[in-house]
Structure 1
């Protein structure tokens, strides 16, 4: 049972200390793509702790499952895990973890279904109003990507992901933005589509709904929403310049009250503009490699802890 309790303790440690460190790290805004990788590795490590703990708990509660799990294992490996005689703890842990897994699966199914219905509805609205932008504005579209213009005096731009993705701009945005600024806006939205940011957002929302009150998943949901925007900003800035991207963002949000004394829902826009104008340098390559290695070490440590009793038994044999 040491491996089971060790996985539960490690999962609790990662779920509490990980978000605390990441939300206070000063490098996150300078490396949003790397920060997304670190967050995903942290969440994967916590989920691995839950899944492997569930597997060991079910094995402790049901001898039949334990026999199947250790079929073909060398002598002493099953005994090293100490699962025999722990049926009570096994049933309790298995029921608790299975409930969390079921809630997460249902939440993910709801998120995917709701997102698909909304996407289909918005695609249907655009299907009869889809004039393409002239060639030469922004990056050339791929065969599965289309630029759509809507009649609206309000300057807006957004993306609709899917098998036939759409990059949508309004006539208000066309009249207000220069060609370079429009290209930067389209590059930003194209970054969301090509990086599959909608999948990440749906998964984060499902985990937060499936495990209410668990800080790591609610923090992951909140951070994903901000980091994907920063990552898309950086993509546009690399191609069209920080000043152009920042000016385009100001033009799109100028009439929404986000730059006044009482900003509304999109209050992060001024911070994103300031970040683009400051232009803080990226982390050194060695620092990025160390952070990447540390991120990948989290799920690797979980797997090692789960296999440690069996490996120890094999070494002693």
Structure 2
């Protein structure tokens, strides 16, 4: 397998993972039944696309630039280098190398910008919370516990990532929620924190902002927002019960029109319906097979990249 054939196969894999698979996954019904598994599949699709671009960049740069070729193939015997037939790379390899290098630099810039912006927003939110939080009596430690209560009639509760993470609850929420419902909200938000959903949101947002025309990245962002909420709902319902979790969502969002199908926040309506009528889970065999297939997908570009070397060494 020459380098031109390897690049063509990687392009086919990347196109399938970036366009065909996302459309099929968004139309499927099973992700609502298994949101954690669906998040795993989306991450594997994104990893497949990124690895296709990365391996294609290494191979094309090796064909175009002799310095890169020397460093990449330094540990390999001469027969392996000859198997790739780098000297016979097509003319468009140079343009492909520059395009992929620009894409890699742009991706890095988008991720760095998202991380910096997330840290800035978190710092501003914490400063705002310090202004709103009641003063602690003298003699108490300056650091607050994992639960922070704010004086506010507006019912709300959210998890503030960081070190240490905190669950923020307003007095309006405490007046509406019973103790089991408050436990359900806490379990929901703790599910976000333990799964590091904030970083998954940052990654999906950065890729979607950087490449708005690529279906896998735009769908990844949109589906991540939905699936992490369903996943956290499942975490809370396993601990506190489906009905309790649904009632907690209703109490917190009743003033937003959560019970109306015409609500501007349709996800809340869908989440309540899903909790009141939980869909059946996939069979264990189906979950295992889907997990395995998704995990193998990112290995395809690596297998294509190393195929000439493996064939030569095995012969």
- TM-score, normalised to structure 2's length? 0.92
Query: Which one of the candidate residues 16, 22, 28 is aligned to 1:19?
Result: 22
Is residue 35 from structure 1 mapped to residue 38 from structure 2 by the alignment? yes
> 1-side partners of 2:37 and 2:260: how far apart?
32
1:195, distance to aligned residue in structure 2 (A): 0.9
Unaligned regions of 5+ residues in structure 2, if any? Answer: 136-142
State the partner residue of 1:311. 310
State the partner residue of 2:203. 203
Is residue 180 from structure 1 mapped to residue 180 from structure 2 by the alignment? yes
Is residue 218 from structure 1 mapped to residue 218 from structure 2 by the alignment? yes
> 2-side partners of 1:64 and 1:103: how far apart?
23
> 1-side partners of 2:80 and 2:134: how far apart?
66
State the partner residue of 1:135. none
> 2-side partners of 1:270 and 1:122: how far apart?
28
Mapping of 1:102-121 within 5 angstroms? 102-121=105-124
- Give the aligned length: 305
1:212, distance to aligned residue in structure 2 (A): 2.3
State the partner residue of 2:163. 163
Q: Partner of 1:280: helix, strand, or coil?
A: coil
1:193, distance to aligned residue in structure 2 (A): 1.2
Moved over 6 A (4+): none
Relative contact order, CA 8 A, sep 6+: which one is greater?
2
Check the 8 A contact 1:2/1:81 in 2, yes or no. Answer: no
Q: Partner of 2:147: helix, strand, or coil?
A: strand
Query: Which one of the candidate residues 81, 84, 87 is aligned to 2:87?
Result: 84
Q: Partner of 1:258: helix, strand, or coil?
A: coil
State the partner residue of 1:136. none
1:144, distance to aligned residue in structure 2 (A): 9.3
State the partner residue of 1:291. 290
State the partner residue of 2:299. 300
1:210-243 per-residue CA deviation (whole Å, 9 max, x = no partner) reads 2220110111010000000000000000000000
1:82, distance to aligned residue in structure 2 (A): 2.1
Check the 8 A contact 1:131/1:148 in 2, yes or no. Answer: no
> 1-side partners of 2:300 and 2:120: how far apart?
39
Change (3 A) 1:144 1:210: farther
State the partner residue of 1:68. 71
1:88, distance to aligned residue in structure 2 (A): 3.5
> 1-side partners of 2:85 and 2:162: how far apart?
48
- TM-score, normalised to structure 1's length? 0.92
1:136-156 per-residue CA deviation (whole Å, 9 max, x = no partner) reads xxxxxxx99611111111111
Q: Partner of 2:168: helix, strand, or coil?
A: strand
Is residue 44 from structure 1 mapped to residue 43 from structure 2 by the alignment? no
Q: Partner of 1:28: helix, strand, or coil?
A: helix
Change (3 A) 1:14 1:261: closer
Check the 8 A contact 1:145/1:167 in 2, yes or no. Answer: no
Check the 8 A contact 1:104/1:210 in 2, yes or no. Answer: yes
Q: Partner of 2:78: helix, strand, or coil?
A: coil
Unaligned regions of 5+ residues in structure 1, if any? Answer: 133-142
State the partner residue of 2:139. none
| More divergent stretch after superposition (81-90 vs 284-293) | 81-90
1:157-177 per-residue CA deviation (whole Å, 9 max, x = no partner) reads 111101221111111100001
State the partner residue of 1:138. none
> 2-side partners of 1:162 and 1:18: how far apart?
34
State the partner residue of 1:278. 277
Check the 8 A contact 1:159/1:189 in 2, yes or no. Answer: yes
1:20, distance to aligned residue in structure 2 (A): 1.6
Mapping of 1:131-150 within 5 angstroms? 146-150=146-150
1:200, distance to aligned residue in structure 2 (A): 0.3
